[in-house]
Amino acid sequence: MKAVHFGAGNIGRGFIGQLLHQNGFEICFVDTNAELIQQLNQDGGYRIDIMDEQGTTVFVDRISALNSLTETEKVIAAIKDADILTTSVGANNLAKIAPTIAKGLSERFKQKRSINILANENAINASNILKEAVYETLSQQDATVFDHYAYFVNTAIDRQSLGKVVEGKAVAVVEPYYEWVINRKQLDPATPFKLQHVVLIDEMQPYIERKLYIVNAAHAAIAYLGDLHGYQTIQEAIRNVEIVKIVNQFLSENSAYFVQKYQFDSADLQCFIEKTLKRQKNQKLSDEIARVGGSPIRKLGPNDRLVAPVVKLEALGLPYETGVKVIAAGYHYRHSDDPEAEKIHALIEEKGLEATIKTISHLDGKLLEEVVVAYDSMG
């Protein structure tokens, strides 16, 4: 079986690639990093370091790689012959790869062969986002064909995947824990294989939101609170008792949303929160705050990990006080190498804090006032 995977970064190699390999797929990575593409093709595979007690190292073989910028026709041919198509390029980049995917699928569908397409991004219903971007490139006639053969399947992914360079080669560095949740109802009924090492469910939204509002929210909260204290890594920040206390309160508030909205068991959620924070404390990892806190405009957006749960809690009449503090910490985040952090700072200087929060987080009224007060109190 053959898989085409867009995105040969740490998530692509260290998570999705590994699981596809475990399911027996040959993998063709599609990326724009010429050096990495050359490495993958020369070695026919790549190394993953798993940060467990044993310091496990695995090698994923049966690998090839293509450059989407210079080898478009080969990418189209690979999609035509693939048994599954997956991505991990970042939600903001889905629109960039959509035209190439559309061309590849168009060629494939001339053979009347359907395919599952799974976008694995830190965004709610990322495959829907990819589908919309793909369909924007199609004529109405082509869209009718795609409706028949293209199965866009939403997922939720969870694994800390970092990277390092060893002897000039990129190595994926991952935690032992992973979770790949897939919407069973959206899969092609004629799928000739059954994926192993994944969680198949019928209702994605609760799991997507749990990942975003608990796991991603915790990560971002530690980063922005840690940055206020001058820490460089998540592992340094989480040693601070006060930061851990705030993050626990934040996640406890968010968990109340899942109990009321989806009838999650509160004890199970507490165990999930404890597991999440334990993962962040893994001292075998060194996760830079600049990486985790990066792209703050997206992370402070109205539908993302910090603002969305607070807005939902307010709508349900549930406590959200700590969430307001975390949002405020996000607006304090500064990093000279991060264009979005610099843009936030420039907007605050030019238009003021309230206008900036309205623009980025779409907050107003009481919530806006509370974030401003929290921001000012952090000085």
| Residues making up the binding site for NAD(+) | 3-14
| HSE-CB for 182 with a 13 A CA cutoff | 22
Burial readout 292-316 (b: 16 or more C-beta within 10 A, e: otherwise): bbbbbbbbbbeebbbbbbbbbbbee
Burial (0-12, 13-18, 19+ Cβ within 10 Å), 70: exposed
Question: How many Å apart are CA 34 and CA 71, to the nearest integer?
Answer: 11
User: Which residues are annotated binding-site positions?
Assistant: 3-14
- For residue 290 the two structure tokens come to 């600049």
The 26-31 sheet, strands edge to edge: 63-67, 26-31, 2-6, 84-87, 115-119, 150-153
The residues that bridge with 28 in the sheet, in sequence order, are 4, 64
Q: Parallel, antiparallel, or unpaired: how do β-strands 150-153 and 45-50 relate?
A: unpaired
| Cα Rg of the chain (Å, integer) | 21
- For residues 179 and 156, is the Cβ–Cβ distance under 8 A? yes
- For residues 255 and 269, is the Cβ–Cβ distance under 8 A? yes
- For tokens 């340094």, what's the residue? 236
H helices present in the chain, as ranges: 10-11, 18-22, 34-43, 72-81, 94-109, 126-135, 140-149, 205-210, 217-228, 234-237, 241-262, 266-280, 289-292, 296-299, 307-315, 321-332, 339-351, 353-361, 365-378
